Amino acid sequence: MNVEMKGICKAFGHVNVLTDIALSIADGEVHALMGENGAGKSTLIKILAGVYIRDSGTVTIDGVPVDACSIAACQQLGIAYVHQELNVINDMSIADNLFLGRELRNRFGFIDRPRMNQTCAELLNELHLEHLSPDTLMRQLSVGYQQMIEIAKALLINARLIILDEPTAALTDKEIRTLFTIVRKLKAQGVSFLYVSHRMNEIFELSDRITVLRDGRYIGTCQTTDVNEDDLVRMMTGRSIDNLYTASEAIPGDIALELRNLGSTGKYEDVSFTLRAGEVLGFAGLMGAGRSEVMHGIFGSYPAETGEIHVHGKPVTIKTPRDASKHGIAFVAENRKEEGLILDFNLTENTTLPSLNSFSKNGLVNDAALVTTTDKHIARLHIKTSSRDQKLKNLSGGNQQKVVLAKWLETRPDILILDEPTRGVDIGAKKEIYDIINTLKQQGVAIIVVSSELSEVMGISDRLAIMHQRRLVKIADTDTLTQDQVLKYAFTGAQ
């Protein structure tokens, strides 16, 4: 599909989100759309997909001006849109979800289940998902698989343009490989892709051209082979970012947290380690190795079954997140949707909710303090919003992630656990988060960082713990390990 967007403008209320944006996508091209959190990528995509109506500008598809302004009308044109925040109906089967709103019917007008299941099985096959049954409930699938089903939907409508908004943020490495194989295969058949990702390596691997937005404005379009990472960072941020990782020397204090043989059936076994104040312990491993599960065990969101947790040298019982909070533990979980952000509440409310007690005196909340605190986080994390009164649902995905972080930082924990803290955030914000981790470490906070990005977890941690198949197989000073060694431990459990 050949798409030309020109002079696109969009405002919400009196906030201009897009000004004079141009975008062109060629037949069989993978076109990457890049920009910082809040730059306007998802908004532009939603205009193309018929979710939002543009204020001005033109869209032509295969040379014909279009004014499709509903999702259905855009699908009719062959545009499929896979959301940044997945919208699946958990209690439906894969087949029902796939055919939702376009069920196949037999000549009597009844839903033709056999034919739907047949078509569904064929699609699953095409996507290398033959091990899934059309009857499987969506809730039984990992986010990665749910994403694949969304792509199957695109195939079902014979889409000629597939829009993927941060499709890999929740995928395992293996699922990413499968996705890329499918993208290449469809591309060879002439399907075009509009691809949004904050991961540079994916952009360079997959895309033919790149368009960059900054603050709702068009910065430029280039051939992927003509630019390098630094060029893109400069286009996106208007500056260059060097020394991404600036971890200071650790001055570890007393042992803040100790795990002794922590275990939970089927999730992790026999996990023991110590963590000192003023130290960053990184957790590396493949997705599914049990890292997040251990963190949930420490935080009590899914309490451990066996073993002991000691905080500041004393054994503690942690059965709920409340117990963990009482012991000064905070946990920024990997899945934003489970993070208890209240999308209809504003930034101030979301940021200060878990720490509200510290803003109250004799039952009265100090509103002025709430405001200053929220503004402090907005400034520090560069949260892009029109004001602290903005509802959270109106923030871009990456900026919502920053609010999660702000909210937990505000509880001033002794022990801070961060699970994939930079997923979906842009490179400038990444740097900011690394700097914050470093500052907290100097203030004596004991920190655990789980990350699937090897350079990240090695760049910011003093010690590294590596998990393989639900066991902790290695723990050592980070600077005694090479990336290759870490990968070997993660893949095989041994060196």
What SS3 string covers 411-424? CCCCEEEEECCCCC
Of 254-262, 344-352, 388-396, 472-480, the segment contacting ligand ATP by CB under 6 A is 388-396
Task: Determine the size of the site formed for ligand ATP (CB under 6 A).
Answer: 20
Q: How far apart are CA 457 and CA 451, in angstroms?
A: 6
Contact status: 421 vs ligand ATP (CB under 6 A): no
One of 19, 43, 264, 348 touching ligand ATP (CB under 6 A): 43
Strand 415-419 to strand 329-332: parallel, antiparallel, or no bridges (unpaired)?
parallel
Contact status: 41 vs ligand ATP (CB under 6 A): yes
Q: How far apart are CA 103 and CA 400, in angstroms?
A: 35
In the window 273-302, what residues touch ligand ATP (CB under 6 A)?
Answer: none
DSSP secondary structure letters along 259-289: EEEEEETTTEEEEEEEEETT-EEEEEE-TTS
Q: Which two tokens stand for residue 291?
A: 């890292």
> Toward Mg ion, which CB reaches closer, 42 or 197?
42
One of 40, 252, 303, 397 touching Mg ion (CB under 5 A): 397
Q: Which two tokens stand for residue 495?
A: 């060196």
Of 9-17, 230-238, 260-268, 279-287, the segment contacting ligand ATP by CB under 6 A is 9-17
> Toward ligand ATP, which CB reaches closer, 163 or 440?
163
Binding mask 83-102 for Mg ion (x = CB under 5 A): -x------------------
Please name which of 307, 312, 340, 351 lies closest in space to residue 328, comparing C-alpha atoms.
312
Please name which of 180, 228, 174 lies closest in space to residue 202, comparing C-alpha atoms.
180
Computed from CA positions of residues 192, 197, 203, 206, in that sequence, does the dihedral angle turn out positive or negative?
negative
Contact status: 40 vs Mg ion (CB under 5 A): no
Q: Which residue is nearest to ligand ATP (CB)?
A: 398
Q: Which residue is nearest to Mg ion (CB)?
A: 42
Of 55-63, 304-312, 339-347, 392-400, the segment contacting ligand ATP by CB under 6 A is 392-400
Q: Checking phi first, is residue 394 left (phi over 0); if not, alpha (psi -120 to 50) or beta? A: alpha
Tell me which residue has tokens 């925040």: 85
For the bound state, the minimum distance from the C-beta of residue 393 to ligand ATP, rounded and expressed in Å, comes to 7
For the bound state, the minimum distance from the C-beta of residue 345 to ligand ATP, rounded and expressed in Å, comes to 15
Phi, psi of 212 (to 5 degrees): -115, 135
| Cβ proximity of 402 and 418 under 8 Å | no
Q: Which two tokens stand for residue 359?
A: 């803003």
Of 104-112, 214-222, 229-237, 394-402, the segment contacting Mg ion by CB under 5 A is 394-402
For the bound state, the minimum distance from the C-beta of residue 456 to ligand ATP, rounded and expressed in Å, comes to 18
Grouping H, G, I as helix, E, B as strand and the rest as coil, residue 452 is coil
In the window 82-101, what residues touch ligand ATP (CB under 6 A)?
Answer: 84
Of 34-42, 225-233, 299-307, 486-494, the segment contacting ligand ATP by CB under 6 A is 34-42
> Toward Mg ion, which CB reaches closer, 40 or 328?
40
One of 197, 399, 452, 478 touching ligand ATP (CB under 6 A): 399
Contact status: 53 vs ligand ATP (CB under 6 A): no
For the bound state, the minimum distance from the C-beta of residue 84 to Mg ion, rounded and expressed in Å, comes to 5
For the bound state, the minimum distance from the C-beta of residue 200 to ligand ATP, rounded and expressed in Å, comes to 14
| Cβ proximity of 398 and 425 under 8 Å | yes
Of 8-16, 22-30, 82-90, 313-321, the segment contacting Mg ion by CB under 5 A is 82-90
One of 396, 422, 451, 461 touching ligand ATP (CB under 6 A): 396
Contact status: 35 vs Mg ion (CB under 5 A): no
Grouping H, G, I as helix, E, B as strand and the rest as coil, residue 93 is strand
Q: Which does 15 bind (CB under 5 to 8 A by kind): ligand ATP, Mg ion, none?
A: ligand ATP
Contact status: 373 vs ligand ATP (CB under 6 A): no
For the bound state, the minimum distance from the C-beta of residue 166 to ligand ATP, rounded and expressed in Å, comes to 7
Q: How far apart are CA 41 and CA 34, in angstroms?
A: 7
- Report helix angle 143-156 to 173-188, nearest 10: 10
Please name which of 392, 422, 390, 427 lies closest in space to residue 405, comparing C-alpha atoms.
422
Contact status: 144 vs Mg ion (CB under 5 A): no
One of 10, 17, 36, 42 touching Mg ion (CB under 5 A): 42
> Toward Mg ion, which CB reaches closer, 304 or 425?
425
| Cβ proximity of 195 and 32 under 8 Å | yes
CA dihedral (301, 307, 310, 314) in degrees, to 10, reads: 120
Half-sphere exposure of 249 (CA within 13 A, CB side): 1
Q: How far apart are CA 300 and CA 330, in angstroms?
A: 11
Q: Which does 491 bind (CB under 5 to 8 A by kind): ligand ATP, Mg ion, none?
A: none
> Which amino acid is located at 170 in the chain?
A
Contact status: 35 vs ligand ATP (CB under 6 A): yes
| Cβ proximity of 261 and 307 under 8 Å | yes
Contact status: 19 vs ligand ATP (CB under 6 A): no
Binding mask 47-76 for Mg ion (x = CB under 5 A): ------------------------------
Computed from CA positions of residues 203, 206, 210, 212, in that sequence, does the dihedral angle turn out positive or negative?
negative
Q: How far apart are CA 455 and CA 439, in angstroms?
A: 20
For the bound state, the minimum distance from the C-beta of residue 83 to ligand ATP, rounded and expressed in Å, comes to 11
The footprint of Mg ion (CB under 5 A) covers: 42, 84, 396-397
The footprint of ligand ATP (CB under 6 A) covers: 12, 15, 17, 35, 37-43, 84, 384-385, 394-399
